[in-house]
Structures are given as C-alpha cells and as structure tokens.
C-alpha cells in the first residue's frame, strides 16, 4: 500500500519516496504544448503547488521522475530549461515585508541557477536581470512559475489601502514578464483569485486563463475514479456514497472532484467524517461582508452569475458571490447558455456537506452569535414530522439571539434576516434545501427536504395573521412536489419586529 502524500507539495519527494501520485502530466503536456502564458485559479489546498512543482521538474528535464507517467514518452528530455520559481510565504502585511520576501525569493533563484544580480535591493530590477542572465548562461529560454501569485493581496484583504499598495507592487513586478517576452519559453501563474485585468493583470494581458476551460477542469483535485483506483486499498468497506456527499462536488466544468486535502486527512484520521478543509481557513472577512451587506443567505442555494463575474476580483469593490466561488465555498453546478443575451451564465452551489455544515455553523456562531446546541431538537422535529416541536425550537432560537443583533442596521425590520437565520440553522444540519425555490406561481421562501418529507416554508414580518400559510395555499406552491412521493408539510412562519420572535406559526400536512 503506497503512502499518503500528506502535506507534501514536492513532486520529487512524492515519486522517489513512493507516495501516491495522481498523474496530472497529460494536462501539463497539453498546457506547455499549446500555450506560452497561462493562469489558473483554484481554491486553497487544491493541489496547485504540487502541479507547479511538477512543471518545474518537467522543464528541468528530470526524466527519471516521470517513468510510468503519461508524459514520459512524449516529452523531449534533451531540452532542459532554466526555471525561475516564485512562491509567496511568510508575513506579507506591509510593503517592506513583501519586498523583503521578493528579494529572498530572487536570491534563492540566483543560487540555484548559479547567477548573481547586480541590484539585489530592487525586486523588479533583479527579476528582469535574472531572466536575461539565465537566458544568456544556459542559451535557452526561461520558464517562470509563480505559485500563489495573489497571496500578498489576500493576506491583507481586510485592509483595503494596504491591499492596493501590495497590488501595485505585484503589478509592477509581474509586468517584467511581458517586457522579457523574447527570453521566455513558458510562464504559469496560479492563485486563489482572478483579479480583473484593470488591476493586477494590466501588464499581463497576454495570459490565457484556463480556470474555466473544460479541458483543464480536472487539472487539480481527485476524481471518483482516482479514489476507486489509486486509493482503493484505503476505502475497503467504506460507504462511498457518504464520502461523495461529504467531500465531492467541486466542479470546474469537467468531472466532480474532491479537494485532495480532505481525502488525505479523512484517510489518515481513521475515515472519520469531519470538516478537514474548512478548518484550515477562517472566513471571517466573508462573514463580515455578509453582515455589512445584509446578504440574503438562502441565495446560497440559488445563485446564477455571468462568466465575467467569476473572472474578476477587485480590492475596492468585492463581490460576495465572487469571493464565495473563488475561495471554494461555492462551486459550479451547471453552465447555462443564455440565448436571449447571447452569453454564458453559471449556476453555483455549495459543493458538499462539509462546506454546507461548516460554513453555516460559522455563520451561526459569528453572525447571529448563538450556539449550535439547538441543532439536535431541530433535526428531530423535521425528521419525525413534528412541526409543533419545530415551532418551539425556532422560538427558542430567536429568543437566544443577542438584542444588538436586531438593533444594528435595523435588522429587526428586515424580513431577510429572519429567513437567513432559519436557513443557516437548517443548512447546518446537512439537509437538502432550496432558498427562493421557483415555481410557476412564484417563489417559495424555503423548501426543506428531510428523509421522506418536504417542508414548504413562507416567512412574513409584521403582516396580517395567517398571511404566510395563506400565500402557500393560494399560490399552490406544493404542486411542484405532488409527484415526489414524499409527505408534504406547508409551514407559515410570521415574525414581529417588536417582539423579535415568531408570533404566529401555522402548518398543514397536505393530504393527497
């Protein structure tokens, strides 16, 4: 049984020490054969760094490492290229620290290439000199590999002014690549976010973005086939459908894929289902934006965006949907051809149970400032079809929310606030649900699927008594699910902004 490459991003170490390696050299071969300047965006801990290191060993001509892999008999191993590799790490919170890190990076590259820059104190000048001297010394064009190109910006994203300063530095540094086109064989940049060309990429308008190219949809991540072949010895007597629900579901227009970090941690922790990937990052900035913009959380289950939106990220005006997608909390459910607008759109979704539960638990704890102990009676009331217990549980939930969560930004008058609280708690149970569920008569506020039951829920604030349930019945929202074979519950929930809680809760079980 081959070893698990936990925390290893070094291609040579994985191959020589006989760790499991999922062959991505076919994608590498297609990339380097067809493009000169390439950009790839993927969420954190998705295997980008290992792919970058694979490219490094490939261009350096280390043939022995690639025995048995797709590219072995297709690559010209007689040609070796000088490689400049840039990987951002450490404290990048000030411009001085970013510049110091850049200087260290270029000193390391000088040592590895046997080159000395005359101006080591100016990163842009040194980068320019390094490219040209490497070309002259090796009589061969240079390969440039940049891992986490956006980290100096993302590390200070909550400080807009500092993020703009770091962005300006990177824009100037990366523009050196374009200035040295004649000396470059291939350049590859990878990161989490795709900044708009008007910001960081203004000097790199020749980049080909493969982030949403279906041919490269599996360039990072593990497929189901990978688990059933390369990892099969680790999944004996494991409920693979449950593994899929928990960790599969990321999609970049090819197959559904797993985040490698999740799978490796899942196996190494004794096949215990837990939120391994989610715990490696804190979405505090995202939660802050959700609160500031009073985001309607049920939208998480029904977001449609255009192609341009997914490929742009600006420090000055951050779009929540873009942030959710690029950071991995949302992924692509399907591509939609909008014939009316002659454009491409994407329907997004939360990828899997891990993200659904973990993100909503985080929202509950930090946005609504309540705890998750109420989850047990909540899921039981839904599972066993006991709406009266659902009512009591929800009333206890709203009674526990701190008073200032209502007074700030007049949230108590905001109908979306109440729906968002209910949505987050139900989503944190890991059940299937649809916010703003479209029917031919209108939109259901929230549809919840638990076991053999469907709950159709409507929310009202400071309305007429009985208005919520009446709307469900009048607009015949249940018709959409009459053929589902499931028991259907109609639930009207009415809130009072003065009492800050439920004042009327009505329900009916649909008789068919």
pLDDT at res. 203 = 62
Q: Is the pLDDT of residue 252 over 80?
A: yes
The structural domains of the chain, with segments of one domain joined by +, span: 11-216, 224-280, 284-509
**Which of 32-36, 88-92, 182-186, 289-293 has the lowest average pLDDT?**
289-293
Q: Which helix (H) or strand (E) holds 227?
A: helix 224-229
What confidence score (pLDDT) does residue 412 get?
Answer: 43
pLDDT on residue 364: 87
Instruction: Give residue 248's pLDDT band: very low, low, confident or very high (50, 70, 90).
Output: very high
Q: Which is more confidently placed, 334 or 371? A: 334
Mean pLDDT over 406-420 rounds to 61
User: Do 374 and 360 touch, CB atoms closer than 8 A?
Assistant: no
User: What is the pLDDT, as a whole number, of residue 415?
Assistant: 63
Residue 404 pLDDT: 60
Confidence category of residue 373, pLDDT binned at 50, 70, 90: confident
Q: What is the pLDDT of residue 96?
A: 97
pLDDT at 405: 55
pLDDT of amino acid 410: 45
With contact defined as beta carbons under 8 Å apart, do 382 and 450 qualify? yes
The answer on pLDDT for 494 being more than 60 is yes
Rounded distance, CA 279 to CA 259, Å? 13
Q: Torsion angle of alpha carbons 172, 174, 176, 178, nearest 10°? A: -120
Asked which of 186-190, 299-303, 406-410, 448-452 is least confident by mean pLDDT, the reply is 406-410
Please state the rounded mean pLDDT for residues 390-417.
71
How far, in Å, CA of 289 to CA of 321, rounded?
Answer: 11
Q: Taking 80 as the threshold, does the pLDDT of residue 258 lie above it?
A: yes
pLDDT for res 313: 74
- Residue indicated by tokens 């420090």: 315
Locus of tokens 């028991």: 487
Q: What pLDDT sits at residue 409? A: 44
Between helix 25-34 and helix 48-59 the angle, nearest 10°, is: 60
**Is residue 191 over pLDDT 80?**
yes
Q: What is the pLDDT of residue 369?
A: 75
Average pLDDT, stretch 426-453?
90
Closest among 325, 457, 321, 315 to 382, alpha carbons compared: 457
- Percentage of the chain lying above the pLDDT 70 cut: 94
Query: In whole numbers, what is the pLDDT of the chain averaged over residues?
Result: 91
The pLDDT of 87-107, averaged and rounded, is 95
Q: Which of 107-116, 399-408, 494-503 has the lowest mean pLDDT?
A: 399-408
What are residue 501's phi and psi, to 5 degrees?
-165, 180
How far apart (Å, rounded) are the C-alpha atoms in residues 429 and 354?
A: 11
Alpha carbon distance 310, 169 (integer Å): 24
Q: Residue 487: which residues within 8 A CB-CB, separation 6 or more?
A: 385, 452, 453, 454, 509, 510
Residue 54 pLDDT level (bands cut at 50, 70, 90)? very high
Instruction: Supply the pLDDT for residue 508.
Output: 96
**Does the structure show a pLDDT above 80 at 199?**
no
- Res. 411 pLDDT band, cuts 50 70 90: very low
Give the span between the Cα atoms of 335 and 251, in whole angstroms. 11
Considering the four listed CATH numbers 1.10.287, 2.50.20, 1.25.40, 3.40.50, the one that applies to the domain covering 11-216 is 3.40.50
Q: What is the pLDDT of residue 371?
A: 62
- Cβ-based neighbours of 243, under 8 Å, separated by 6 or more: 227, 235, 266
**Residue 334, pLDDT score:** 92
Q: Which of 321, 329, 310, 222 lies closest to 267, judged by CA?
A: 222
pLDDT band of 36, cuts 50, 70, 90 = very high
CB count in 10 Å sphere of residue 14: 21
How large is the average pLDDT for residues 461-479?
94
Is the pLDDT confidence value at 263 over 80?
Answer: yes
The pLDDT score that the predictor gives to residue 299 is 86
Question: At 413, is the pLDDT very low, low, confident or very high (cuts 50, 70, 90)?
Answer: very low
Of 170-179, 312-321, 373-382, 480-489, the poorest mean pLDDT is in 312-321
309 — pLDDT class (breaks 50, 70, 90): low
Neighbouring residues of 366: CB distance < 8 A, sequence distance ≥ 6: 284, 287
Tell me the per-residue pLDDT of 76-88, one tens digit each, with 9 for 90 and over: 999 999 999 999 9
pLDDT band at 414 (very low <50, low <70, confident <90, very high): low
Pair 451, 383: CB distance under 8 Å:
yes
Q: Which helix (H) or strand (E) holds 450?
A: strand 442-450
| pLDDT for residue 103 is more than 90 | yes
Which of 174-178, 204-208, 426-430 has the least mean pLDDT? 204-208
The pLDDT score that the predictor gives to residue 406 is 46
């Amino acid at each position: 049984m081959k070893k698990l490459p936990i925390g290893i991003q070094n291609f040579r170490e994985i191959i020589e020490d006989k760790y499991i390696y999922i062959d991505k050299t076919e994608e590498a071969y297609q990339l380097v054969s067809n493009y000169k300047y390439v950009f790839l965006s993927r969420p954190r801990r998705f295997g980008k760094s290992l792919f970058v290191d694979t490219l490094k060993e490939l261009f350096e001509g280390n043939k022995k490492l690639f025995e048995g892999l797709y590219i072995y008999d297709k690559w010209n191993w007689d040609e070796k290229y000088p490689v400049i590799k840039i990987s951002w790490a450490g404290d990048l919170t000030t411009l001085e620290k970013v510049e110091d890190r850049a200087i260290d990076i270029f000193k390391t590259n000088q040592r590895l290439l046997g080159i000395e820059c005359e101006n080591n104190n100016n990163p842009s000048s040194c980068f320019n000199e390094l490219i040209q001297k490497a070309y002259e010394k090796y009589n061969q064009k240079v390969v440039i590999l940049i891992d986490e190109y956006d980290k100096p910006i993302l590390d200070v994203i909550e400080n807009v002014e500092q993020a703009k300063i770091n962005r300006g530095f990177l824009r100037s540094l990366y523009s050196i690549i374009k200035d040295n086109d004649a000396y470059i064989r291939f350049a590859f940049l990878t990161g989490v976010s795709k900044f708009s060309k008007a910001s960081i990429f203004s000097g790199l308008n020749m980049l080909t973005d493969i982030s949403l190219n279906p041919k490269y949809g599996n360039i990072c991540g593990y497929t189901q086939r990978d688990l059933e072949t390369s990892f099969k010895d680790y999944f004996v007597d494991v409920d693979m459908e449950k593994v899929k629900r928990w960790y599969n579901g990321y999609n970049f227009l090819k197959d559904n894929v797993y985040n490698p970090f999740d799978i490796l941690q899942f196996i190494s922790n004794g096949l215990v289902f837990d939120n391994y990937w989610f715990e490696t990052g804190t979405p505090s900035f995202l939660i802050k934006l959700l609160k500031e913009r009073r985001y309607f959380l049920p939208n998480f289950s029904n977001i449609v965006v255009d192609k341009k939106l997914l490929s742009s990220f600006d420090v000055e005006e951050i779009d929540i949907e873009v942030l959710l997608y690029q950071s991995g909390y949302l992924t692509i459910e399907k591509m939609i051809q909008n014939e009316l607008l002659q454009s491409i759109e994407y329907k997004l979704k939360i990828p899997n149970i891990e993200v659904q539960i973990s993100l909503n638990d985080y929202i509950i704890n930090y946005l609504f400032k309540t705890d998750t102990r109420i989850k047990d009676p909540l899921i039981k009331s839904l599972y066993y079809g006991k709406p009266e217990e659902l009512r009591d549980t929800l009333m206890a939930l709203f009674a526990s929310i701190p008073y200032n969560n209502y007074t700030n930004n007049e949230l108590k008058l905001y109908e979306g606030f109440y729906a968002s609280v209910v949505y987050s708690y139900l989503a944190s149970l890991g059940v299937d649900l649809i916010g703003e569920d479209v029917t031919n008569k209108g939109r259901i506020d929230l549809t919840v699927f638990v076991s053999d039951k469907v709950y159709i829920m409507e929310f009202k604030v400071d309305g007429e008594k009985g208005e919520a349930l009446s709307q469900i019945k009048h607009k015949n929202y249940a018709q959409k699910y009459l053929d589902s074979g499931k028991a259907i519950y109609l639930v009207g929930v009415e809130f009072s902004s003065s009492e800050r809680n439920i004042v009327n809760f009505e329900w009916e079980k649909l008789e068919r």
